Amino acid sequence: MSADALQWFKSTYSGDEGGECVEVAACSHFILIRDSKNPADDGPILRIEPATWTAFTKFAAR
């Protein structure tokens, strides 16, 4: 699946000034994370399992 075909989300805390933001998308078996400044298909994408993402977000919320 093309990175452009995914629905990417950026934090509501992120501004529009192009700072240091990441975007997240969910696909069938993984959570995908990319740098919002490099959204092209050839940019690096970190792929993690949903359980890892859940643990991370719970930790970050504390």
5-22 tens-digit pLDDT: 789 888 777 766 666 688
- Supply φ then ψ for residue 58, to 5 degrees: -65, -45
Predicted confidence band at 36 (pLDDT cuts at 50, 70, 90)? Answer: confident
Q: Which domain holds residue 22?
A: 3-61
Strand 22-26: give its sheet, edge to edge.
9-10, 22-26, 31-35, 45-48
**51: how many CB neighbours lie within 10 A of its CB?**
9
Q: Which of 5-14, 42-51, 53-62 bottoms out in mean pLDDT, i.e. has the lowest?
A: 5-14
Global pTM reads 0.73
Please give the average per-residue pLDDT across 46-53, as a whole number.
95
Please state the domain count of the chain: 1
